[in-house]
């Protein structure tokens, strides 16, 4: 069975290395202006989100030191290795909605003495707090990521948040720092990012913009780390998924106007249809393929809209925009625990990821950090686990392929070609992102949104492109615990015609190449 599925996926990718008859393929031209570099692509846009939700933490990251599953001080060895491979730059924790009922003191000290609480937001299950401050901060350090901690502004006063930050960051001979030392950590951790609440317009307090702004100004005044640490405070911003309290424009304006001395403002947007029935993660038809990619592309006008509001109050662009929750959101898998938000991850999600990352590449003047939701076993997960088994998803593979874009310098790229359209949804058939990496090499990402038609892509760049491509025989091609490599990147190369780089891009594919 494994060989059969693996062979099918590989066969689907083979045309990428062979010439596709040009009369069968859509003709697409790409013009890159190397004279117009944009702001550097901050590596932190490749960040992750890990909330106490379902098996995202317990079983997904943390199994404990006594588990039969191979682990490093309680952290799954396979997950740690996978995250290190893609150089995860930042991890956001503990939520999400979970953060605004979280008391940090529940998660410190001997694990056997920590209280067990009910996770009222996600499934009503119990959380024994085995994974707390030390476990998270050490995990981030282990995988080489900057920690991003969200404090509780919904149900705890500023004093509690101030104490938590002091506990994590102080090097003084003071009570909180000594308590941390007694709990096993001598040196303070380097806390790079601090979220002042989460979705204050919704589960974080149901606040309107004006009140949320005053709350941010108040909390950010009292919660501080040593200046030498350079901790960035992130105000809880708007959403692209609801109107009213969290409206992208009015909520952003209120926060920019009255939120205090802002350093960064968050924004949340999920590529999900409104209503209870969001469709299945697999076994969908082309109508749901087209709808989901169209929803993912809505990130661009939303980021543009939020950025325009920010520009009115911050024309020098000193306040960064952090899209610290994004991704696909479908019906959870049948038979999975209610409220755990566990969903499969297919080639469709790989396209969602690639299209979204390309959008961030086009808005580097504002977008400096992002966090996909979520890291393991929840929503558009990078990794799925089941007991001792682990599988890497197509989304993970896109993040792996896109690594050369970290800290790269982007260039404007215009695309001329047909649209892909179906069931009232229309979009450019081919999406492109081009940047010069830190290594000095030129990289290009190509996304073919059409699930049927290949594209013959002619660029104005000199040379030949070589890299990797991700595709499969079906729109919902995905990896399972029994067949973990049904879809994975394979070698891909273009040709040179008249000295210009040319690519024969299969349908429903994502490619990243170095143009040599």
Task: List CB contacts of 278: < 8 A, sequence separation 6 or more.
Answer: 272, 329, 330, 331
Catalytic residue among 135, 166, 199, 292: 199
Give the separation between CA 73 and CA 64, rounded to whole angstroms.
7
3 state DSSP class of 443? strand
Give the separation between CA 79 and CA 60, rounded to whole angstroms.
8
Strand pairing class (442-448; 430-436): antiparallel
Q: Which of 253, 153, 266 is nearest to 209 (CA)?
A: 253
Find out whether 129 and 107 touch, Cβ atoms under 8 Å: yes
φ/ψ of 52, rounded to 5, equals -75, 85
Catalytic residue among 325, 333, 351, 412: 325
Cα 14 from chain centre: 29
Task: List CB contacts of 113: < 8 A, sequence separation 6 or more.
Answer: none
Hey, which bits of 88-128 come out as E strands?
90-93, 117-119, 125-127
How does DSSP assign 456-515, residue by residue? EEEEEEES-EEEEEE--SSTT-B--SSSTTSS--EEEE-EEETTEEEEEEPSSEEEEEEE
Angle at 47 between CA 78 and CA 434, to 5 degrees: 110
Could you confirm whether 286 is annotated as catalytic?
no
213: left (phi over 0), alpha (psi -120 to 50) or beta: alpha
DSSP structural state of residue 427: E
Q: How many CB atoms lie within 10 A of CB 372?
A: 27
Give the separation between CA 351 and CA 348, rounded to whole angstroms.
5
Could you confirm whether 65 is annotated as catalytic?
no
Distance from the first to the final alpha carbon of the chain: 38
Give the separation between CA 463 and CA 502, rounded to whole angstroms.
9
> Dmax of the chain from CA atoms?
74
- Sign (positive/negative) of CA torsion 394, 396, 402, 408? positive
Find out whether 226 and 165 touch, Cβ atoms under 8 Å: no
Give the separation between CA 431 and CA 448, rounded to whole angstroms.
7
3 state DSSP class of 15? helix
Q: How many CB atoms lie within 10 A of CB 261?
A: 10
Residues across the chain: 516
Give the separation between CA 454 and CA 502, rounded to whole angstroms.
13
The dihedral formed by the CA atoms of 346, 349, 354 and 357, expressed in degrees to the nearest 10: -140
Active site (catalytic) residues: 199, 325
């Amino acid at each position: 069975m494994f060989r059969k599925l693996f062979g099918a996926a590989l066969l689907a990718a083979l045309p990428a290395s062979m010439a596709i008859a040009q009369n069968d393929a859509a003709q697409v031209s790409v013009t890159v202006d190397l004279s117009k570099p944009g702001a550097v692509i901050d590596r932190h846009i490749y960040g992750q989100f890990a909330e106490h939700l379902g098996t995202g933490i317990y079983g997904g990251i943390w199994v404990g030191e006594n588990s039969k599953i191979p682990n490093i001080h309680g952290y799954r060895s396979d997950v740690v290795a996978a995250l290190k491979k893609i150089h995860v730059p930042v991890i956001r924790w503990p939520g999400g909605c979970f953060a605004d009922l979280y008391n940090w003191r529940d998660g410190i000290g001997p694990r056997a003495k920590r209280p067990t609480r009910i996770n009222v937001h996600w499934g009503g299950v119990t959380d024994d707090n085995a994974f707390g401050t030390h476990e998270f901060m050490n995990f981030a350090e282990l995988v080489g990521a900057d920690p991003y901690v969200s404090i509780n502004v919904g149900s705890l006063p500023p004093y509690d948040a101030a104490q938590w930050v002091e506990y994590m960051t102080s090097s003084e001979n003071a009570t909180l720092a000594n308590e941390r030392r007694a709990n096993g950590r001598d040196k303070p951790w380097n806390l790079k990012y601090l979220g002042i609440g989460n979705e204050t317009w919704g589960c974080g307090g149901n606040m309107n913009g004006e009140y949320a702004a005053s709350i941010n100004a108040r909390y950010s005044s009292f919660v501080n780390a040593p200046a030498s640490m350079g901790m960035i405070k992130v105000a809880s911003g708007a959403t692209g998924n609801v109107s009213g309290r969290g409206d992208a424009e009015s909520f952003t304006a209120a926060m920019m106007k009255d939120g205090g001395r802002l350093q960064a403002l968050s924004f949340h947007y999920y590529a999900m249809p409104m209503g209870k029935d969001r469709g299945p993660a697999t076994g969908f038809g082309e109508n749901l393929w087209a709808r989901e990619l169209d929803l993912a592309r809505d990130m661009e006008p939303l980021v543009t809209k939020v950025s325009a509001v920010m520009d009115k109050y911050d024309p020098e662009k000193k306040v960064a925009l952090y899209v610290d929750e994004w991704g696909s959101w479908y019906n959870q898998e049948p038979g999975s625990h209610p409220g755990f938000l566990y969903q499969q991850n297919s080639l469709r999600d790989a396209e969602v990821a690639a299209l979204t990352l390309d959008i961030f590449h086009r808005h580097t003047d504002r977008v400096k950090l992002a966090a996909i939701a979520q890291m393991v076993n929840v929503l558009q997960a990078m990794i799925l686990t089941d007991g001792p088994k682990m599988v890497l998803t197509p989304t993970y593979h896109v993040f792996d392929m896109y690594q050369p874009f970290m800290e790269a310098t982007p260039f404007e790229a215009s695309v001329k070609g047909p649209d892909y359209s179906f069931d009232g949804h229309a979009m450019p058939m081919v999406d492109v992102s081009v940047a010069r990496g830190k290594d000095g090499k030129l990289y290009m990402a190509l996304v073919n949104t059409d699930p049927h038609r290949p594209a013959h892509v002619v660029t104005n760049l000199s040379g030949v492109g070589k890299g990797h491509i991700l595709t499969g025989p079906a729109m919902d091609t995905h990896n399972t615990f029994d067949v973990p490599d049904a879809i994975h990147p394979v070698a891909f190369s273009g040709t040179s015609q008249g000295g210009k780089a040319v690519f024969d891009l299969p349908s429903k594919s994502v490619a990243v190449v170095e143009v040599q």
